[in-house]
Amino acid sequence: MSVPPASCLSHKALICDVIISFIAIKSFFDLSHDHYVSIGWEYCADVTSHPIRIDRPGLVTGEYIYLCRLYKSVGAAPGRHKPGVEQQAPRLQRPPSSSMATTAIRLPDFKQSVKLKYVKLGYHYLITHGAYLLLAPLPGLVAAHLSTFTARDVAELWHNLQYNLVSVLVCTTLVVLVCTAYFLTRPRPVYLVDFACYKPDDERKCSRERFMNCTESLGTFTPENVEFQRKIIERSGLGEDTYLPEAVLNIPPNPSMANARKEAEMVMFGALDELFAKTGVKPKDIGILVVNCSLFNPTPSLSAMVVNRYKLRGNIVSYNLGGMGCSAGLISIDLAQDLLQVYPNTYAVVISTENITLNWYFGNDRSMLVSNCLFRMGGAAILLSNRRSARRRSKYQLVHTVRTHRGADDRCFGCVTQREDADGKTGVSLSKDLMAVAGEALKTNITTLGPLVLPMSEQLLFFATLVARKVLKRKVKPYIPDFKLAFEHFCIHAGGRAVLDELEKNLQLSDWHMEPSRMTLHRFGNTSSSSLWYELAYAEAKGRIKKGDRTWQIAFGSGFKCNSAVWTALRPVNPAMEKNFTNPWIDEIHRFPVPVPKVSAI
């Protein structure tokens, strides 16, 4: 049998493609598709005037050209399709023209061959842009209606307005008043002009081996607790290049108020010097200052030390936050945002740090020894502004802040506590309930944040699942919203490996999304409230930040608190431009990411 000319096949093949797609959609939605299969292939045989014999529903035979067309369209190989196994179309040999090849094939199970994530993505796009699709015909209808207006119609309309001049003036006045009230009362935008992370000198580096040598040489820890710290370090996810202050690395250590002040000045002033150099902003232009440090609160305060060093102006609004844990950095951002709504046309500086010198634990309470193994030296300075002119040179705009406090629950309140052990030695105790408490706080926080950031498609899916479980009493798994549709980047507080593992699992994040947090923990350790900024600096150094990208910063802290901040990138961040300044990653970013084994022996 001869093959039809190409000109004849072109439009008829298109019809076959449409029918195949129709069958696929019907089968995907669990409809009884045997009838559609039969009708579809009978129609293909009719429009092509070629014999295609239907052996039974779902099985067809035909000539070479139509088999090739089918294989190319649905990606199925002859024979039975094995669910979950991808198959490639075989090389088909053209049968002799004197006889017709008869080969039975079966339509694939589209429930197995179609990736549901693409169906979900299409649903997301449809819901997200549904308003635009519904409103798209409106301009055309208006234009069509206006095109029918004649000069006489326009004159008549003007004549009617003259007789209703009072109504027109009243409506115009109301519109002007409403617009004026809106522009006067709307929140001022808060821009993140730039930020800087402190990178200590190489003399402060503390490898894991050096940490263990210092621990053993102290003589204050029992052999069992020395081995306990070794196991914690081997499983912590920390690398060989974290930093500790001089007072802790000295043998013997010499923690004192003077050394603690020295560490605080080194970190805060180092980050601020870099920030002022990067932005060109003068210290006298700063109108708001917020400093947070949880465990070191001297008198005069840390904020007063900054005012004295940089000779800030006398009417500066300054705050010093203490005892608020690793989430205090985002609390400071939220406080600065509120202050920027009150003080127009100004700059705000936020400094986030933690002091190690006076908070190193020298006892044998294992709940307090964990903090020795995780916490390291670091700090960050952030410049915010509400000036309209600052937008063009700012990196990000603050979109949302959500704060969750679980302190009313006694179990949550006591899971992270600074206290004295049985021997009177002070340290920070971490409860065994920490992971459970963190999970509860995270659930509360994202429940509040979700409606603000998630696309409508995710909210509808969540609501439908909730109705099925609570109202219809169906045994349906709780729907976990896909936050990857709301954010491009995730900066999760690098509190420890276990915390990152749990959040990666619960939020269904990929290794790429977790990379900034894991690499920050590996390179710098847990720097407390400043860790979020080392993570954002990592994403910038990798060249990942594009204009319009949304970043979610989330941190946990004592009390117990879980806080979130959402930023939108106002411009792409070029890592090449960062070389002129000291992004903490820029000189070594080519080495990352590095594999971090579950257990790394010392």
pLDDT digits (tens, 9 = 90+) for 3-34: 444 444 444 444 444 444 444 444 444 443 34
Q: CB under 8 Å to 406, separation ≥6 — which residues? A: 412, 413, 437, 440, 441, 444, 559, 560, 561, 562
Assess whether 96 and 232 both reside in one domain.
no
Query: Is 326 among the catalytic positions?
Result: yes
Indicate whether 90 belongs to any domain: yes
pTM, full prediction? 0.75
Assess whether 490 and 372 both reside in one domain.
yes
Assess whether 215 and 321 both reside in one domain.
yes
For residue 269, give its domain range: 193-591
Cα separation of 315 and 332, whole Å?
19
Q: Average pLDDT in the 73-87 region?
A: 41
Q: CB under 8 Å to 344, separation ≥6 — which residues? A: 188, 386
Cα torsion angle, 558, 563, 569, 572, sign: positive
> What pLDDT score does 283 carry?
97
Of the residues 45, 79, 114, which one is the last residue of a structural domain? 114
- Determine how β-strand 347-353 pairs with β-strand 286-292: parallel
Indicate whether 538 belongs to any domain: yes
Assess whether 300 and 443 both reside in one domain.
yes
Indicate whether 246 belongs to any domain: yes
Ranges 101-115, 170-184, 260-274, 419-433: which has the least confidence = 101-115
Q: What is the CA radius of gyration of the chain?
A: 33
Assess whether 109 and 245 both reside in one domain.
no
Assess whether 558 and 451 both reside in one domain.
yes
> What pLDDT score does 132 carry?
63
Q: Average pLDDT in the 580-586 region?
A: 83
- Determine how β-strand 489-492 pairs with β-strand 550-557: parallel
> What pLDDT score does 276 carry?
96
For residues 386-405, one letter each, b for 16 or more C-beta atoms within 10 angstroms of the residue's C-beta and e for the rest, the string is bbeebeeebbbebbbbbebb
Please indicate whether residue 412 or residue 183 has the higher confidence score (pLDDT). Answer: 412
How is residue 477 annotated by DSSP?
Answer: P
Q: Average pLDDT in the 309-325 region?
A: 97
Assess whether 96 and 204 both reside in one domain.
no
Of the residues 95, 114, 133, which one is the last residue of a structural domain? 114
Indicate whether 391 belongs to any domain: yes
pLDDT in tens, 397-447: 999 999 999 999 999 999 999 999 999 999 999 999 999 999 999 989 988
pLDDT in tens, 368-377: 999 999 999 9
Of the residues 94, 114, 134, which one is the last residue of a structural domain? 114
Is the confidence at residue 383, as pLDDT, over 60?
Answer: yes
Query: Is 405 among the catalytic positions?
Result: yes
What's the 3-state SS for 311-366?
Answer: CCCCCCEEEEECCCHHHHHHHHHHHHHHHHHHCCCCEEEEEEECCCHHHCCCCCCH
Task: Name the helix (H) or strand (E) containing 428.
Answer: strand 426-430
Assess whether 279 and 410 both reside in one domain.
yes
Indicate whether 144 belongs to any domain: no
**Distance between the two ends of the chain, CA-based, in angstroms?**
76
> What pLDDT score does 568 carry?
98
Closest CA to 108 of 63, 74, 131, 61: 74
Is the confidence at residue 97, as pLDDT, over 50?
Answer: no
Given 326, 373, 412, 415, the catalytic residue: 326
Indicate whether 119 belongs to any domain: no
Q: CATH code at 583? A: 3.40.47.10
Assess whether 60 and 200 both reside in one domain.
no
Indicate whether 93 belongs to any domain: yes
Assess whether 110 and 200 both reside in one domain.
no
Q: Average pLDDT in the 252-272 region?
A: 96
Assess whether 279 and 370 both reside in one domain.
yes
Query: Is 386 among the catalytic positions?
Result: no
Number of domains, the chain: 2
Given 292, 526, 563, 583, the catalytic residue: 526
Indicate whether 272 belongs to any domain: yes
Please indicate whether residue 322 or residue 60 has the higher confidence score (pLDDT). Answer: 322
Assess whether 78 and 199 both reside in one domain.
no
User: Which three-class secondary structure state does DSSP give residue 471?
Assistant: coil
Given 320, 359, 364, 489, the catalytic residue: 489
- Determine how β-strand 286-292 pairs with β-strand 317-321: parallel
> What pLDDT score does 171 carry?
84
| Residue 230 confidence class, pLDDT cut points 50, 70, 90 | very high
Query: Is 159 among the catalytic positions?
Result: no
> What pLDDT score does 581 carry?
67
Given 33, 81, 493, 522, the catalytic residue: 493
